[in-house]
Structure 1
Amino acid sequence: MRKYSLADLPETLPVFPLPGALLLPRARLPLNIFEPRYLAMLEDTLKTPHRLIGMIQPMLLPEGRGPGPERERVETARLHRIGCAGRVTAFQETDDGRYLVTLSGVARFRLGPVEEGFAPYLRARADWADFERDLGRAEVDPGFDRGGFLDVLSRFFEAAQLSSDWESLKEADAELLVNSLSILCPFDPEERQALLEAPTLATRRETLVTLMEFALRSGGDDGVLQ
């Protein structure tokens, strides 16, 4: 994948607000794009040299305060201040006009002012200054206890009725393992935002373990294990 420096990153980029979608640096996120405004966003993005899209989560309005279902309330909600930009590294057009896209995470950004314009999708200024480390090599986690981590993960997967290739998990490096699980595990949007904003891989791993242990203790009464 192309390597970036801060100087390579654009001052503005298209912003895709999508509840529950988490992208992390050096990780991948598949997207199924079908709404006309986001089809236009993708087509415009593919014309740029950087091919970056900013994934960001909306802060959804409480129940009863929005004009309609969750997906229709995205534009009326405030956006979280931190998102992650991904480069379009694969796309395929389907027979019914959708795009199946893969974004490869490049760097997190702090959301600036949303630009006014004629595009049907959001564009905003992006401040990358706090996240230069995202552009470097894979992070290491000196305190990573693979055995203990996999024990919690195994119990979480069993309770959530999820399956995985455990041999691959035993061999994966710490960053790939933690980031992939952060993306794939069925956490709610605010929990995913906490994983995104974790300043280091070690902090993200600790947050991930805390979320899994909380879900196990809750027994599925009000959480991801329902």
Structure 2
Amino acid sequence: MTKHMDLPEIIPIFPLPGALLLPRARLPLHLFEPRYLAMLDDALKTPERLIGMVQPNRMPGRNGGTGLHTIGCVGRVTQFSETEDGRYMITLTGLSRFRVVEEVEGFSPYRRAKVSWTGFERDKGPSETDDGFSRDKFMNLLSRYFTAQELQTDWESLKEADDELLINSLSMLLGFEPEDKQALLEAPSLSTRRETLVTLIEYSMRGGDGEDIMQ
């Protein structure tokens, strides 16, 4: 249903540092600020139920001074529940990346932007595969990384996940810096995202000492 949805030219945007949404992936969010509760309320009144996730940009003067990175990803609200004190727990399912054209002025308490979907046609297609993916080597690296970071995970689920689910889930969940998350978002293909992910994991493990970790 969502793959063939006509995506609008203007969407609400949620600038959230470190939060990464990718096409066909799911991102849980906790909304409590009044402006974002208003954004959710307005989104739920539309048939598309769209919210665009975009990283704030720390570099002044980029993207026309909007303070946002140029590329983000829009998601459809696929789950939501309200807490007793009026907050919302929602899940966004990623549909497509977009390019911010300009921010739209208006009376809404949240930000909106005119966006372009050109160049991201692959996002609305079927799941991607990574023909150059060496899963055994990658899982070995990941095991060492999780041990070093003292992280726990369901290894059986990781082993059974398809290429896209594995790479995109790790890209979203691992604790990289916002600029690193942006690099993962902007990767043009699943293969380049996997290469970027491996580079980030290796860099984290070696602490910047220049030693090649992945053997």
Counterpart Cα distance in 1 of 2:87 and 2:172 = 23
Question: What amino acid does structure 2 have at the position aligned with 1:11?
Answer: E
Counterpart Cα distance in 1 of 2:118 and 2:166 = 26
TM-score by length of 1: 0.88
* Structure 2 residue 108 is the aligned partner of structure 1 residue 119: yes
- Specify the SS of the correspondent of 1:30: strand
Q: Which runs of 5+ in 2 are unaligned?
A: 210-215
- Aligned partner of 1:214 in structure 2 is 203
2:49 maps to which of 45, 51, 62: 51
Counterpart Cα distance in 2 of 1:59 and 1:131 = 21
- Aligned partner of 1:69 in structure 2 is none
Counterpart Cα distance in 2 of 1:180 and 1:159 = 19
Residue 60 of structure 1 and its aligned partner are, at CA, apart by 2.7
Instruction: Rate the CA distance shift 1:107–1:156 in 2: closer, same or farther, 3 A.
Output: same
RMSD: 1.6
Q: Percent identity over the alignment?
A: 63
- Aligned partner of 2:80 in structure 1 is 91
Question: What amino acid does structure 2 have at the position aligned with 1:201?
Answer: L
8 Å CA contact 1:91–1:100 kept in 2: the answer is yes
Instruction: Rate the CA distance shift 1:201–1:61 in 2: closer, same or farther, 3 A.
Output: closer
TM-score by length of 2: 0.92
- Aligned partner of 2:158 in structure 1 is 169
- Specify the SS of the correspondent of 1:44: helix
Deviations 1:146-180 (A, max 9, x none): 10010111111111111111111111100000000
- Aligned partner of 2:15 in structure 1 is 17
Deviations 1:128-158 (A, max 9, x none): 0110110000001001111001011111111
Matches within 5 A, 1:42-191: 42-60=40-58, 78-191=67-180
Counterpart Cα distance in 1 of 2:41 and 2:137 = 45
- Specify the SS of the correspondent of 1:16: strand
Q: Which runs of 5+ in 1 are unaligned?
A: 63-75, 221-226
8 Å CA contact 2:66–2:103 kept in 1: the answer is no
Counterpart Cα distance in 2 of 1:86 and 1:3 = 10
8 Å CA contact 1:53–1:87 kept in 2: the answer is yes
Residue 98 of structure 1 and its aligned partner are, at CA, apart by 0.4
Instruction: Rate the CA distance shift 1:133–1:10 in 2: closer, same or farther, 3 A.
Output: same
- Aligned partner of 1:3 in structure 2 is 2
Extract structure 1 runs of 4+ deviating beyond 3 A: none
- Specify the SS of the correspondent of 1:105: strand
Residue 219 of structure 1 and its aligned partner are, at CA, apart by 7.5
- Aligned partner of 2:37 in structure 1 is 39
- Specify the SS of the correspondent of 1:209: helix
Residue 85 of structure 1 and its aligned partner are, at CA, apart by 0.2
